[in-house]
Structure 1
Amino acid sequence: MATTQESKHYKVIEPSSGWKMVDFQELWRYKDLLYFLTLRGIKARYAQSILGVSWAIIQPLFTTLVFTLVFGGLAKVDSDGMPYLLFSYLALWPWNYFSGTLTESANSLIQNANMITKVYFPRMVLPLSAILSKLLDFIIAFVVVIGLLIYFKQMPGWGIVFLPLLIIQLLMCSLGIGMFLSALAVKYRDVKHALTFLVQLLLYAAPVVYSTQAVPEKYLNIYILNPMVGVIEGFRAAFLNRPMPWDWIWPGSIVAVIFFVFGMLYFRRMERIFADVA
């Protein structure tokens, strides 16, 4: 009697080399993993917390109050004729998301080293889940924006329709820099320690506590290349019924796209060594 031998099929997964683009189809196949990791990140952030998601409102609000007291009250920083509390919060709202995603994404690969060394999945899922989990804080913080607009009797203008474009620019900048830092942090652990200091410095490189009118004209050509400048000024214009500052927005949007593409390419290039050094 002849015996039959079952054929076995194996799929060999080889590390990528060189500068390759992201396989978005593969990312889509792992969308469930991305969803659960994002949900896990949200739950871990507020686990065993009495106030829970209320921290997403308390933290930026109290920071704004301190800025209002120090910069708006004592230092008399110009706020373009707006109430400084509203002026500052509309900048801190997108800035807190940006700075938070840098910290979360930079540590995402190191914190999940066990997953990387034991099972295959697109490594980009980890910084993506860290960035997406911060969106909940961003949405909750919008409640304070509504409250401040009502308190100061301020109605948003037609510029509010461009808010999705500003959010896309914010996301692209956060994703690009976040993926670059997460890949860099696996090889160089100094990134984790330097990032806290770097984020504090970057705060003053964007018009969070001061107006863009305070920037010397000779530095404007460099200053507007910061993607967060256009995002912050755009948020203020959208909610304070002012003309959209396209001259501030479009240079930063180009830089945000460059950050996004370079961040993905660098992440893919370094992906092959993650399991060895994580």
Structure 2
Amino acid sequence: MTTSPALPVTVIRARRTKGLVDWSELWAYRDLVYFLTWRDIKVRYKQTALGAAWAVLQPFLTMVVFSIFFGRLAGIDSGNVPYPVFAYTALVPWTFFANAVTQASNSLVQQESILTKVYFPRVIVPSAAVLAGLVDITVAFSVLVAMMLAFGIVPTVAVMTLPLLVAFAAMTAFAVGLWLSALNVRYRDVRYTLPFIVQVWLFASPVAYPSSLVPEALRPLYGINPMVGVIDGFRWALLGDVEAPGWSFLVSVGVVIALLVGGLAYFRRMERSFADAV
């Protein structure tokens, strides 16, 4: 009786890199980034009656509610800017951030079938969720332009910084999404606490009110909330007659950089166990 030779065994492992991100590997998987981003966009509006209009309705209806309760009843001072424009300018980046963080946080768990079968840089999954949200912010921004024209608001030269501010908002969402997506694989409680976190974060950010309501001595501490820098930057870039971001903006930038570096390190340490824990 003859025995058949043992079949060779091939073990696929991720390449070891010294840095937090292997840029050459990400470039090699650029087509996958495009595919996952485009798929997320299509799935988001699949079988919806209004389609991409939801990207406008969500911030617009929130703006209407804020204008009634905060602008008219509470009398929140929005300076020389009409309160609806004041609120909607903040809701455009906020809605993008909230949706991107939510999608990125659940992205790894939702990709269980892929994570357990084939290797690719796992960081692509939450990054695709954030990139897909850029379509929403573009659609919502078109309504903001129409509102500014209707109220006769002309931005200053500061509007040239808007692409950088959008990139800053995306980086903020990506940094937070990295932490939450990795934690969500191990602790499924994240999925249930996330809506509460986002809701509290909304009112802790200067969406319905200006940052000037916060005492000046506390503004650097207030800037620990990274969305303070994002929202103040958007208003300064678009509304013209708005106070330029101060120390709180610089604090927000520093916090986002720290969150991003720490998130990449934590994500990289945890990604080897994603396929087993997901």
The verdict on a shared fold, with TM-score over 0.5 as the criterion, is yes
What CA distance in whole angstroms lies between the structure 1 residues aligned with 2:203 and 2:156?
Answer: 28
Q: Which residue of 2 aligns with 1:221?
A: 220
Deviation per CA, 1:90-125, whole angstroms, max 9, x where unpaired?
A: 000001111111100000000011100011111111
Q: Tell me, what secondary structure is at the counterpart of 2:81?
A: coil
Match of 1:263 in 2: 263
Aligned length: 270
Coordinate RMSD, CA, aligned: 1.9
Deviation at 1:220, TM superposition (A): 1.9
Structure 1 residues 180 and 45: CA distance shift in structure 2, 3 A: same
Question: Which structure's relative contact order is higher, taking Cα pairs within 8 Å and 6+ residues apart?
Answer: 1
How far is the alpha carbon of 1:232 from its aligned partner? 0.8
Counterpart contact for 1:15–1:271, Cα < 8 Å = no
Task: Say whether the 8 Å CA contact 1:88–1:209 is kept in structure 2.
Answer: yes
Instruction: Provide runs of 4+ in structure 1 moved above 3 Å.
Output: 8-12, 14-17
Q: Provide the rounded CA distance (Å) in 1 between the counterparts of 2:251 and 2:221.
A: 10
Structural mapping, 1:137-216, within 5 Å: 137-216=136-215
Over 3 Å counting, the alpha-carbon distance change for 1:143 and 1:14 in structure 2 is: closer
* Identity rate, percent: 44
| Structure 2 unaligned blocks of 5 or more | 1-7
Structure 1: which amino acid aligns with 2:79?
D
Give 1:11 shift: 6.8
Q: Which residue identity is paired with 2:255?
A: V
CA shift for structure 1 position 81? 3.0
Instruction: Provide the C-alpha distance between the structure 2 equivalents of 1:120 and 1:210, rounded to a whole number of angstroms.
Output: 46
Give the match's secondary structure for 1:134: helix
Distance 1:15 1:274, change over 3 A: farther
Look up the match of 1:5: none
Cα displacement (A) at 1:43: 0.5
Q: Does 1:101 align with 2:117?
A: no
Q: Which string of whole-angstrom CA distances, capped at 9 and with x for unpartnered residues, describes residues 113-144 of structure 1?
A: 11000111111111011111111001110111
1:10: how far off?
A: 5.7
Given that 1:172 and 1:259 are in contact with CA atoms closer than 8 Å, whether structure 2 keeps it comes out as no
Partner of 2:123: 124
User: Where in structure 1 are there 5+ consecutive unaligned residues?
Assistant: 1-7
Shift of the alpha carbon at 1:76? 1.1
Per the TM alignment, residue 20 of structure 1 is displaced from its structure 2 partner at its CA by 5.2
- The aligned counterpart of 1:49 is 48
1:236-275 equivalence runs, <5 A: 236-242=235-241, 244-275=244-275
* Structure 1 residues 62-103: Cα deviation after superposition (integer angstroms, max 9, x where no partner): 110111011111111121232110000000000111111110
Instruction: Using the TM superposition, give the Cα deviation of residue 9 of structure 1 relative to its aligned residue in structure 2, in angstroms.
Output: 11
Q: TM-score, normalised by structure 1?
A: 0.92
TM-score, normalised on structure 2? Answer: 0.92
Of stretches 19-28 and 127-136 in structure 1, the one that deviates more from structure 2 is 19-28
Between 1:77-86 and 1:42-51, the stretch displaced more is 77-86
